[in-house]
Amino acid sequence: MPPRLRALIQHHIQLIEHALAVYPIVGAKALREAAHIALGEMIEAKDEIAPEKDSIAVLALGSVWGSVNRATDIALRTEKLVQLGQRAWDSLSGIF
């Protein structure tokens, strides 16, 4: 595996670890920001990724980001439901 690709994968692992560490504090925003950074890096490194696209490491990286994106979608939907529930409660508490 080319050193640049190896460094990219290691950095993406660090991005995911950091996002998971700060998730309890900032919520789904942490996951979304990590995904945006990673996407930009992958676009910049497309010339290094393309020849290795069928390698186990690149396929695994794609799978991991797919899981992170699904988790981010679920977290964002959950946060929106919680906010909606809070607004409904605030409205009802004004009535009572």
Question: What does each of the 96 residues of the chain score in pLDDT, given as a tens digit?
Answer: 888 899 999 999 999 999 999 999 988 889 989 999 999 999 999 998 999 989 999 999 999 999 998 988 888 888 777 666 666 666 666 666
CB atoms within 10 A of CB 17: 11
Residue 16 makes CB contacts below 8 A (sequence gap 6+) with 34, 64, 68
Query: For residue 62, what are the CA distances in angstroms to 25, 58, 69, 72, 77?
Result: 26, 6, 10, 15, 23
**pTM of the entire predicted model:** 0.75
Tokens 């670890």 belong to residue: 17
Dihedral angle, C-alpha 33, 18, 22, 20, nearest 10 °: 90
